[in-house]
Amino acid sequence: MEKKIILSGIQATGELTLGNYLGSLNNWVKMQEEYDCYYMIADLHTLTIRNNPEDLRKNTLKLIALYVACGLDPEKNTIFIQSHVPAHTRLSWVLNCYTYMGELNRMTQFKDKAAKHADNINSGLFTYPVLMAADILIYNADLVPVGDDQKQHLEITRDIAERFNSLYGETFKIPEPYIGKVGARIMGLQNPTSKMSKSAQDPMDKILLTDTPDDIRKKLKKAVTDSENSVRFDRENKPGVSNLMSIYGILKNKDMKEIEKEFEGKGYGLFKSVVAEAIIERLEVIQKKYNELLENPEKLKAIYEKGDKKANEKANQLLKEVYKKVGLIVEE
């Protein structure tokens, strides 16, 4: 039986956080046995903001290393660099011609990013969702792992695909969202009502996958909780404690009732300390593998070259079909 295709990716900016790992990468690892997975380094998407070119190159390789260190097997997954597959941008141009300005105007992420980068509101930022649609549709992806902040992008992808299909006949598969289980949305340590973000200005708000044990203990010690001193899951009234419980629950495969019982009457000091050690224990394994890969650039190159080759073969098949349907001359 043919496996369903999953497509996802992370932008090559900054360091990945514990939120990226528990919300995305940890789930991706679980998918690799069941699905045909395409995981890209979304380097083209990073160009909507100004990057230091050398940093972008380094971050791209670091991200590949983190993908593998977190458990993605290059033999079971297609790990590739977005800019190394020209079909993404070639399809994106075609899809731009089937996307309406009104649809792009409604995208909340454009409004948010435009507010943060008011000095650089470029057209790439505006048409970003179309490139994302091309990323997904070029592989005929069945499923796309999405958090709440990405649902709108998947919706516009589906709209564009359905519009194209209605004009030219069945061409694109209509992708469905793949929603992860508990912990798909890990929140900030200092602001537990907002998602943990690698772009957060306050370093104490996020745990990086490359943080030292001392950094992690310090950040957990200062994580926002409440005055109740009771380990109880209640997202609305106890967002800080509930977030730490979610992190601990995923790392130790425990449900919230088990955690509540484990720390009954024990207070936040001990609870934070235990959560910190659980994080350190998991990241120690990841960091060891990550550092080994960074010291072996030829191995990293072999991983992405293999993935690039497979991604190009898959993407070019569909691009050729699209070009033919819209009337472009295609060389066989």
List active site positions. 113, 195, 198
- Whether 152 and 109 have beta carbons less than 8 Å apart is answered as yes
Contact 239, 192 (CB under 8 A): yes
Token output for 119: 């000095």
Name the amino acid, one letter, at 33: E
The token pair at 274 is 């235990």
SS (HEC) of the chain = CCCCEEEEEEECCCCCEHHHHHHHHHHHHHHCCCCEEEEEEECCHHHHCCCCHHHHHHHHHHHHHHHHHCCCCCCCEEEEEHHHCCHHHHHHHHHHCCCCHHHHHCCHHHHHHHHHCCCCCCHHHHHHHHHHHHHHHCCCCCEEECCHHHHHHHHHHHHHHHHHHHHHCCCCCCCEEECCCCCCCCECCCCCCCECCCCCCCHHHCCECCCCHHHHHHHHHCCCCCCCCCCCCECCCEHHHHHHHHHHHHHHCCCHHHHHHHCCCCHHHHHHHHHHHHHHHHHHHHHHHHHHHHCCHHHHHHHHHHHHHHHHHHHHHHHHHHHHHHCCCCCC
Phi and psi, residue 138, nearest 5°: -65, -20
Q: How far is CA 236 from the centre of its chain?
A: 25
